Every structure is written in structure tokens, then in C-alpha cells.
Amino acid sequence: MDSEPRQELLAGRYRVDGLLGQGGMSEVYHGYDERLDRRVAIKVLRPPANAPAAPSRPEAAEILDDLERDRKRFLREIRVMAKLELPGIPAVYDTGAEESPDGSPRLWLVMQLLRGSTLQTLVDRADYQSASPPVAWGAAIGTQIAAVLADVHRVDIVHRDIKPGNVMVTDGGLVKVLDFGIAILRGAGALPRLTQVDRTVGTPAYMSPEQCLGQVVTAASDIYSLGCLLMELLTGDPPFFATRDMPLRSHHLNAPAPTVRSRRADVPAELDSLVASMLSKDPAARPSATAVYETLLPFATRRPADSASAAESASAAETDETRDPTRPFRWPLLAPAASRRESHDGNRPKLTDTEAGLLLDNAFALLDTDHPSQAISLLEDGIARAWDDPALRLRLRHYLGIALFSAGEYTRAAPVLDAVEQEYLKRLPPDDSYVLDCAYHAGLAYAETGKPRKALAQLRFYVENADETADEDETRKLLQTRFIIAQLLATEDHSDEALAELQKVRPLFVEVFGENSTQVRNLDKQADRLRMPRS
């Protein structure tokens, strides 16, 4: 008798079992690692159903290129998160890309299989009318989420979709923040791009004002979402609801946020003030994740005086002893900032000309094959060894900035590229390719990290000095940059200037991309948003 056919294995070792859940671009399965004999979770990612099969038109080619950039960025940022090894993120075991049986590409991610309850389940089952969960319960969950955000924000990762369904309390009381990979894949950067139409990531009840407007999304957007979540954990409801007279978006943009104490009088005033600051309409006025952690921490370890009442409240929120989020505070959650030391002394062997050439060749090869972290290490070593050659050091610092940018480490990349650009300008003209390369990438890095004024200065410098007639690629790059400049002007509340810039470049977009192209449609969509009243 023939045996049953062997079930398909990803990478020859991961068995895909029953479906756990699914979304628009992903499916999560129970899985089994046959090599290590353990249960795992397997997330399979696929491109959108309407993605073109081939670059048959210019806009289709742009979309396919965009999807490929998203794929590479997703894999790279998953590797970054795997290195963090944070207790508040599911452990990443493996990732890869394979062809599905129907021939379409699929990305997969093998992760720690979690056992616990989502916050959505806990909040839905809690009785906030008669027995609200203890303040310490909500504070402990918020503290653990803030600890995760503090560490991922440090490496320029923004979640973009903090909400109850993306947070789990596991056995042992650890809080896990879920779906970083999907959020990064779908967000794919702080600013909208020419080939993205209506790809704003977020859940309406927890979206920051800048997300609602399609503007720059930074770490401050995660803080706003966490503020909405904290309000819900403490009172049972997020701050805003859609009403007959005002849609939810308008509440986020214009309505003053209710205070926590207006809904629950026993919440301490300091905690009330914290949530109010997190819900500020101005991203710059919101606290950092580290500040949120430090403010919440004392409340996370407090217990109500009435132990019987505490037990009743804990039961209402399903926080038994094994799933109590205050338990993990027996050890610190907030990991210290990763320290990086760059040696500048002369104790290391001098970098010879031959070694410098090989180093640069290897660095370029690593960047071309999507291994920026290795390129960064190589370039940092070269800079330390080029202590007697200022010109070589400057060139290596330039490429280090590009490698940092490629790795998504925008906070580190921007000042490096900015400083190198200023050094170049002492000996090179403004239209030199080295100068323009630094200005362009520094501007994008500043934009990604929520520094629109610095970004505008760099990107305007690039546009004013670049040769728009050089070639087709340069023309498209300049148009993309002017599109980003308009987005940054809108972020700085210069909506009229932003709209004027979009109207000025629209004929150029039509000439290069075509009247019915995705790029022109997206430009028109952004212009329509700028014309909309904020109410």
C-alpha cells in the first residue's frame, strides 16, 4: 500500500499545520520544526492580489520594483529585530522566501509560538462598570509596551499599529507586541511614495493625527497610539468614537482628548497627565517611549489596598497569577541603549592603499547583496585604521553613512552624511556628485526620523543643484524628491506651499509617467488631502 504523501516543509524543516489567523497580506499557522522538535508559529506573507505579474507598463514596473524594495526591507528589518532579543517581542527563529505551489512568491517567518490572551480579549471580558481592573494592571501592560517601543525606536523602527489586537499577555505575565513585520512591510517608510496610493497603516481608533493626514509617521505616532491604548486599559474605552456630527478622523485631528480621571476618578493625577501628554495633537509635544516607561514604572508595581477587591478585579480581567503583567517587574524591562564605540587612536595598524581598495570593494558587494550590517562593521574598522589619511577617512565616512541608511539606521546615518557633506563643500562645488549624494540621503534620513526642517534644507539643496537633464533615472529621482518636499511642507503646517509644489510638478509627472499612471494618481490623492479641511 502506498504511504500518504509527505506534507510540504518550508526550508525542508518547518511543517505548516492549522491556520491560526489571517489578514489582508498574511496568514499565521501552527507549525512544527522537525529538526529541533518544537512547536512554532509560521507567518506567510504574499504580495497584494492586484500586483501586476510582469512589468508590461511603466507604472507596473514601478509597482513591482516597489514590492521588491518592500520585500528586501522586510527581511532586513526582521534580521535587525532578531538581533534585539527583547523579551517583549516574539522570538524570530528563521525567515526566507520560496515559490508557492501556484508559482507566486511568498515570504515566510518562523517565530516563537505564544500562549496567552490578546489585550482585545482581556478588555472585552473585563467589567469596567462594576469591577475595573487595578490601575497597576493597566500600568504594567503600558510599561512593558513602552519598554519594547523604547528599544525599537532606538534603531528607527516604528510599529505604526499599536492596538489591543497586536498585544498579548502570555503565561508568566510577559507582554508581547505583535505584528512588527507586517507593519513595517506595509508602512515601508515614514513618507508616502509615488507608487503608493491609500496605503496608510493603522487602526482608526488608535491612529495619530499625522497618520490620519497621511503625513510623516515617526516614533511619536506610536506614543499617541499607546496613549489611546492606555486610556482603554484604564477606563474600558479608547479616547474617541465616531459620532453623528463628527467622524473619528476629525476627533483625532481637532477634538480635545478626554482626561482619564474624567472617566475613572481613582487614577492618580500623574498618570492622568502622562496620558494627556501622549495624546497631544503635536507630535513634538509627546514624551518619548523611555519617558513613558519611567513614569509608568512606579504605578506598575503598586497593589490596591483592598486585597479582596484586587482579586475580584484581577479575575474580571483574567489576570490570574500565571498571567499577571505585574510579575515581570522582578527584573528590569528597559534594556540599556546599545553602545557603539568607534576607535580614533593610532594604536591600530594603518590601512594601506591596497587594503582600502579591497575594503571598499567588499563594502559595495555587501550592500549590493543586502548585507548592510556587515558593510557597516567593515567601514567602521576602516575608519579607525585610516587615522593618518583625512581624505580616505572622509570617503569611508561617506560610505558608512550610506550603509547606515541602507540598514535603516537613519538616526545614525543623518548626522554622519550631514557632516561629510559640510566637509566636501570646503573643497568641492555644490553640484558635485559626492556632495549631492550626501545631501539627498541625509535629507531622506532626517525625514524618516521626524526632523522635517533639516530634511527640507537638505532636499531643497539637492533639488537646486542636481542636473535634471542628466538622465531618466535622475529625473525620476528629482521628481520623487519634490514629492517628498511637498509632504514635509505639509508636516510643517505649510499646506498652501505643499499644494503649490504638487501643482507645479504635476505636468512633469504627466510627461515622465503618463496621465493615468500610479504616480500621477498618488500625487492627485495627496493634493486632494491638502485641500481637505482639518475638521
Backbone dihedral region of 255: left (phi > 0), alpha (psi from -120 to 50 degrees) or beta?
A: beta
Which residues touch 212 (CB under 8 Å, ≥6 apart)? Answer: 249, 252, 253
Q: Tell me how far apart the alpha carbons of residues 291 and 272 are, in angstroms, rounded to a whole number.
A: 15
Q: Tell me how far apart the alpha carbons of residues 45 and 97 are, in angstroms, rounded to a whole number.
A: 9
Collapsed DSSP state (helix, strand, coil) of residue 31: strand
- Helical H segments across 492-532, by residue range: 495-513, 518-531
What is the separation of C-alpha 268 from the centre of its chain, rounded to a whole number of angstroms?
Answer: 32
The answer to whether 284 and 233 have CB atoms below 8 angstroms apart is no
Catalytic residue among 161, 179, 222, 418: 161
Q: Tell me how far apart the alpha carbons of residues 105 and 47 are, in angstroms, rounded to a whole number.
A: 8
Collapsed DSSP state (helix, strand, coil) of residue 452: helix
161 is catalytic: yes
Q: Tell me how far apart the alpha carbons of residues 249 and 254 are, in angstroms, rounded to a whole number.
A: 9
Distances (CA, A) of 498 to 33, 215, 486, 503, 505: 52, 12, 4, 9, 11
Q: Count the neighbouring beta carbons within 10 Å of the beta carbon of residue 254.
A: 13
The answer to whether 184 and 157 have CB atoms below 8 angstroms apart is yes
Which amino acid is present at 215?
Q
Task: Catalogue the active-site residues.
Answer: 161
